[in-house]
């Protein structure tokens, strides 16, 4: 194959890459709305194997396609443009219901169909880039740089776009951009006739003109919003969208919502009028109508989270996760002096403060209420205030929580370090109150108790048993951690509070077995037993023998909702016919299912071209060992994302906003890796390739180790800085590491381009598969071993890649 001396079409590559990365993130958003977040994760991971499939496809067809590069390149762009919209619209109409997968074989076929359909857009994009890498072998660094820089723009662009428009409109815009890329490519490649550019531009308007009916989201009938809309009179009166979620405001004038989870059995009365707030068609919270009649708000005193207000009169209250304001209302009802309410989503705050002010009254604008748009943990660590009460409400939806769907989500709210931070912001005798849904067998509540014990011990408290109280109804539990010891008087008030509401005391200092399990009776007093065990000497054996994982979460392993233990998998599986399936923690199993599917698909995709190509390209790879070449690119694929994912987690704790941290870290990584790749273009001979790879990987390993050691202390030192400065610091920290990480891949490809160009598409596919696997494996390792181990593993992979390249196939002779 001749090497192409013309410059690669970098602008169209960059724009294409930007569009496809934006599309990937948008699909995640769309599927989180119509399905559940974790199925979205699985579906999109599998769809990304389109990159691997493209490698396989190109390995077999590159010989025929490369002589017609322009036609092949532009056709694939057009196919991408067409498939962005078409494939999503098709996929959302496949009525896949994950819960039925246990019984219904059809569901598996539907899932497979969703995968296949959504793979197509990524397959076409990967074809374009794979073809460009194979065609412009002299400019591989530039092609890859354009790809990464484009992706960087895409990852930032979609976040901005989602602030401006609804996800479905964003989808239309991406469809439009697809055709715009085709026009750009036609122009860039100087194809004839030139007027086709105009045709593509005209075509690009079509996605924007599709009828609204086509673009409507087909939300699963089993999501809370869909269910609520079956009730007569209910309707969505407002919708707001941002990258943080789609918020639907629902009114139900005929049949009131009456949202009061955990309400005492002894309560009378019902809540005032409420508006439902759904995030991504699920997780309903409410805005409650303003009322001057205090007795109408009495229900706020009939739930377990009201307990701290009965022990002392907290003057200064901090509400973390304020949402529609139910907890602020509760604090007000109990006469709190000053209330600071923290909510992450500015649109929800705006709804209560402005849009529905007439409905909600002065809830968020009252003089005694300070509303802060911030991430809860970040707000606390940046605050110098001390509070009499820090209240963490029920933030997650019961449905998703009870199905264990959150188990692979990082959560920094309930880690040992987080609890320590909250405790440090309590006034003397102040209290931290955390409410959770009750699950049977107990999970969250006991894990939280274990976390509290650990946090107190790590804060140097010798007698955690005197500072903890746990109560429960049949639906919710509330844990109190006091900055001081509970007094006799307080314990008396706790008993009185519980008795009046038929709540059970599960733990207080000096509790006896007869005082538990009286109103909400379990087969055994599990909560009491758990609390006793966790405070006693046998805590370790209790944790080990318990059938769910109750080990406290830490900032390095922030998976509070990971309760699954492999030891009981078989037992639960054997009970599946007898209603045992709800005992499985789905989130984790979905992760494992994703891994298994990805491994199988990747093996097929990676091995297939080798088997098929044996006949055709037998000599093309020359002396190079296929496994060493494949291994090099596979390890790079794994390591790149390992580091990216682990550092996103590190920076979330520094930047205190999951969305901004992810967007900033991801785009910085891609941007500087792109620059690194462009820089690598200057290495042009065997020796310089080796030097380049050696230099880059040495840099990665040194910086990686340095960051592992230094980032923690550095972040706590710089925590006081304003967010903008922190963002700049983050980018500066990421830049050198990412720059180095951008080099090994194009250098390897350039080396391969000289020795065995026919294998470029194959390693492109290998790298694609590895990237998909990497994201899944990184999460599994983080859950089990923590993010530090993920980084160490990544550095090890980079080291191995260097050995394989510099001591292995990079050494071998060229055949051309």
Partner 1 sequence: MPEIEKLNRYIIQGISGVYDAYLEIKITSYARWTTSVTCCDSTREYLLLYRNRFVLLIFGLFVLLIGLSVQAQDKYTSARQTMVHAIEADAHFTSFFINKTALEPKVMEAMGKVPRHEFVPRKERHNAYENRPLPIGHGQTISQPYIVALMTDLLKPERQQKVLEVGTGSGYQAAILAELVDEVFTIEIIKPLGNQARQHLQQLNYDNVNVRVGDGYYGWEEHGPFDGIVVTAAASHIPPPLIQQLKPGGRMVIPVGSRFMIQQLVLVEKDAAGKVTTRQILPVRFVPLTGKH
> Which spans of this chain sit near partner 1 (rule: CB under 8 A)?
97, 99-100, 102-103, 221-222, 226-227, 230-232, 254-256, 258-263, 265-270, 399, 402-403, 438-442, 474-475, 502, 518-523, 526, 529, 538, 541-542, 545-548, 571-572, 575, 577-583
- Our CA dihedral for 142, 143, 145, 151, rounded to 10 degrees, sits at 160
- Nearest CB to partner 1, comparing residues 63 and 100: 100
Residues in the chain: 816
Q: Which residues pair with 387 in a beta bridge?
A: 426
- Our CA dihedral for 6, 10, 11, 13, rounded to 10 degrees, sits at 120
Write out the two tokens for 736.
């050198």
Structural contact between residues 279 and 451, judged by C-beta atoms closer than 8 angstroms: no
C-beta of 299: minimal distance to partner 1 in Å? Answer: 9
C-beta of 441: minimal distance to partner 1 in Å? Answer: 4
Distance CA 711, CA 717 (A): 10
C-beta of 265: minimal distance to partner 1 in Å? Answer: 5
Q: Which residues pair with 780 in a beta bridge?
A: none
Sheet bearing 338-343, strands edge to edge = 369-373, 338-343, 316-320, 387-392, 426-437, 476-482, 468-472, 504-507
10-34 and 105-135 helices cross at what angle (nearest 10)?
Answer: 170
- Nearest CB to partner 1, comparing residues 80 and 519: 519
Long-range contacts of 61-70 (CB under 8 A, 24+ apart): 62/131, 62/134, 62/758, 62/760, 62/761, 63/616, 63/758, 65/131, 66/1, 66/131, 66/134, 66/135, 69/4, 69/131, 69/135, 70/189, 70/191
- Nearest CB to partner 1, comparing residues 405 and 737: 405
C-beta of 190: minimal distance to partner 1 in Å? Answer: 55
Distance CA 710, CA 580 (A): 46
Write out the two tokens for 478.
């509330």
Distance CA 381, CA 418 (A): 9
- Nearest CB to partner 1, comparing residues 156 and 403: 403
Structural contact between residues 756 and 622, judged by C-beta atoms closer than 8 angstroms: yes
Distance CA 773, CA 767 (A): 10
- Nearest CB to partner 1, comparing residues 460 and 579: 579
The backbone torsions φ and ψ at residue 410, rounded to the nearest 5 degrees and listed phi first, read -70, 140
- Nearest CB to partner 1, comparing residues 229 and 621: 229
- Nearest CB to partner 1, comparing residues 588 and 764: 588
C-beta of 103: minimal distance to partner 1 in Å? Answer: 5
C-beta of 542: minimal distance to partner 1 in Å? Answer: 6
- Nearest CB to partner 1, comparing residues 42 and 749: 42
C-beta of 92: minimal distance to partner 1 in Å? Answer: 16
C-beta of 514: minimal distance to partner 1 in Å? Answer: 15
Write out the two tokens for 224.
């809370």
Distance CA 499, CA 516 (A): 11
- Nearest CB to partner 1, comparing residues 410 and 585: 585
C-beta of 701: minimal distance to partner 1 in Å? Answer: 43
C-beta of 577: minimal distance to partner 1 in Å? Answer: 6
C-beta of 102: minimal distance to partner 1 in Å? Answer: 8
- Nearest CB to partner 1, comparing residues 278 and 633: 278
C-beta of 443: minimal distance to partner 1 in Å? Answer: 9
CA torsion sign for 219, 221, 227, 232 is positive
- Nearest CB to partner 1, comparing residues 100 and 355: 100
C-beta of 218: minimal distance to partner 1 in Å? Answer: 13
What are the C-alpha distances in Å from 124 to residues 140, 639, 640?
19, 25, 23
Distance CA 751, CA 133 (A): 12
Distance CA 12, CA 503 (A): 64
Write out the two tokens for 463.
């007698």
- Nearest CB to partner 1, comparing residues 256 and 799: 256
What are the C-alpha distances in Å from 269 to residues 260, 262, 296?
11, 14, 7
C-beta of 83: minimal distance to partner 1 in Å? Answer: 30
Structural contact between residues 119 and 100, judged by C-beta atoms closer than 8 angstroms: no
Structural contact between residues 405 and 562, judged by C-beta atoms closer than 8 angstroms: no
- Nearest CB to partner 1, comparing residues 500 and 685: 500
- Nearest CB to partner 1, comparing residues 230 and 682: 230
- Nearest CB to partner 1, comparing residues 549 and 649: 549
Task: Work out the number of other CB atoms within 10 angstroms of the CB of residue 231.
Answer: 12
760-785 and 37-47 helices cross at what angle (nearest 10)?
Answer: 150
- Nearest CB to partner 1, comparing residues 403 and 776: 403
- Nearest CB to partner 1, comparing residues 267 and 800: 267
Task: Work out the number of other CB atoms within 10 angstroms of the CB of residue 60.
Answer: 18
- Nearest CB to partner 1, comparing residues 212 and 566: 566
C-beta of 326: minimal distance to partner 1 in Å? Answer: 11
Q: Please choose, from the candidates 596, 591, 597, 587, the residue with its C-alpha nearest in 3D space to the C-alpha of residue 47.
A: 597
Distance CA 798, CA 140 (A): 20
Write out the two tokens for 680.
């690598």
Q: Please choose, from the candidates 326, 163, 171, the residue with its C-alpha nearest in 3D space to the C-alpha of residue 260.
A: 326
C-beta of 446: minimal distance to partner 1 in Å? Answer: 9
* Residues whose CB is less than 8 angstroms from the CB of residue 373 and which lie 6 or more positions away in sequence, other chains included: 343, 344, 345, 346, 349
C-beta of 546: minimal distance to partner 1 in Å? Answer: 6
Distance CA 731, CA 669 (A): 8
Structural contact between residues 310 and 333, judged by C-beta atoms closer than 8 angstroms: no
């Amino acid at each position: 194959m001749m090497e192409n001396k013309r410059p690669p079409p970098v602008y169209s590559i960059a724009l294409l890459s930007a569009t496809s990365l934006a599309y990937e993130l948008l699909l995640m958003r769309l599927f989180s709305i119509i399905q559940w977040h974790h199925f979205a994760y699985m579906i999109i991971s599998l769809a990304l194997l389109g990159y691997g499939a493209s490698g396989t496809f190109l390995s077999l067809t590159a010989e025929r396609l490369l002589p017609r590069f322009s036609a092949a390149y532009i056709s694939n762009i057009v196919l991408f443009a067409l498939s962005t919209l078409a494939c999503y619209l098709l996929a959302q109409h496949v009525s896949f219901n994950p819960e039925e997968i246990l019984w219904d074989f059809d569901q598996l076929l539907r899932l497979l169909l969703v995968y296949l359909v959504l793979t197509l857009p990524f397959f076409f994009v990967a074809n374009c880039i794979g073809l460009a890498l194979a065609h412009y072998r002299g400019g591989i660094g530039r092609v890859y740089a354009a790809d990464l820089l484009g992706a960087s723009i895409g990852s930032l662009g979609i976040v901005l776009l989602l602030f401006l428009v609804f996800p479905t409109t964003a989808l239309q815009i991406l469809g439009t951009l697809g055709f715009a890329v085709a026009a750009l490519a036609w122009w860039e490649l100087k194809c004839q006739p030139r007027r086709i550019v105009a045709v593509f531009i005209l075509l690009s308007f079509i996605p924007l003109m599709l009828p609204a009916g086509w673009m409507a989201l087909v939300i699963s009938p089993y999501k809370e919003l869909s269910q609520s809309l079956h009730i007569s009179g209910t309707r969505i009166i407002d919708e707001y969208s941002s990258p943080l979620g789609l918020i639907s405001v629902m009114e139900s004038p005929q049949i009131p919502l009456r949202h009061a989870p955990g309400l005492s059995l002894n309560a009378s009365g019902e809540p005032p009028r409420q508006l439902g707030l759904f995030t991504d068609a699920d997780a309903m919270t409410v805005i409650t109508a303003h009322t001057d009649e205090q007795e109408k708000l009495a229900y706020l005193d009939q739930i377990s989270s009201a307990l701290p207000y009965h022990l002392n009169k907290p003057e200064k209250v901090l509400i973390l996760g304020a949402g529609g304001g139910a907890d602020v209302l509760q604090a007000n009802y109990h006469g709190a002096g000053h209330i600071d309410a923290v909510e992450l989503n500015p649109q929800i705050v705006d709804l209560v403060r402005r849009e529905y002010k007439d409905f909600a009254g002065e809830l968020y604008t009252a003089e005694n209420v300070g509303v802060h748009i911030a991430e809860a943990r970040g707000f606390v660590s940046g605050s110098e205030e001390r509070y009499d009460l820090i209240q963490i409400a029920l933030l997650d939806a019961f449905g998703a929580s009870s199905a264990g769907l959150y188990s692979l989500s990082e959560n920094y709210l309930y880690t040992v370090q987080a609890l320590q931070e909250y405790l440090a912001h309590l006034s003397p005798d102040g209290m931290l109150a955390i409410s959770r849904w009750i699950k049977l067998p107990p999970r969250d509540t006991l894990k939280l108790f274990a976390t509290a014990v650990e946090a107190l011990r790590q804060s140097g408290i010798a007698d955690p048993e005197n500072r903890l109280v746990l109560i429960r109804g049949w639906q919710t539990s509330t844990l109190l951690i006091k900055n001081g010891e509970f007094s006799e008087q307080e314990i008396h008030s706790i008993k009185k509070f519980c008795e009046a509401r038929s709540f059970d005391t599960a733990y207080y200092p000096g509790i006896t077995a007869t005082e538990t399990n009286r109103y909400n009776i379990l087969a055994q007093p599990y909560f009491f037993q758990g609390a006793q065990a966790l405070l006693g000497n046998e805590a370790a054996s209790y944790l080990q023998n318990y059938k769910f994982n109750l080990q406290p979460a830490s900032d390095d392993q922030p998976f509070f909702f990971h309760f699954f233990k492999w030891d009981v998998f078989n037992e639960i599986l054997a009970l599946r016919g007898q209603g045992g399936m709800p005992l499985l923690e789905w989130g984790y199993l979905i992760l494992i299912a994703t891994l298994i599917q990805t491994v199988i698909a990747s093996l097929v995709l990676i091995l297939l071209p080798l088997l098929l190509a044996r006949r055709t390209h037998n000599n093309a790879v020359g002396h190079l060992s296929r496994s060493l070449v494949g291994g090099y690119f596979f390890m790079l694929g794994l390591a790149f994302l390992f580091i990216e994912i682990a550092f996103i987690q590190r920076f979330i704790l520094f930047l205190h906003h999951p969305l901004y941290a992810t967007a900033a870290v991801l785009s910085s990584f891609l941007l500087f890796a792109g620059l690194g790749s462009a820089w690598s273009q200057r290495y042009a001979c065997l020796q310089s390739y080796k030097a380049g790879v050696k230099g880059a990987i040495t840099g990665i390993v040194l910086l990686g180790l340095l960051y592992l050691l230094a980032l923690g202390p550095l972040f706590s030192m710089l925590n006081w800085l304003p967010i903008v400065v922190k963002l700049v610091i983050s980018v500066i920290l990421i830049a050198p590491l990412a720059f180095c990480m951008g080099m090994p891949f194009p250098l390897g490809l350039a080396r391969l381009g000289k020795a065995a160009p026919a294998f470029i598409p194959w390693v492109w596919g290998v790298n694609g598969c590895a990237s998909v696997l990497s994201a899944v494996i990184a999460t599994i390792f983080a859950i089990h071993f923590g993010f530090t181990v993920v980084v160490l593993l990544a550095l090890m992979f980079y080291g191995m890649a260097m050995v394989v390249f510099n001591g292995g196939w990079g050494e071998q002779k060229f055949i051309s």
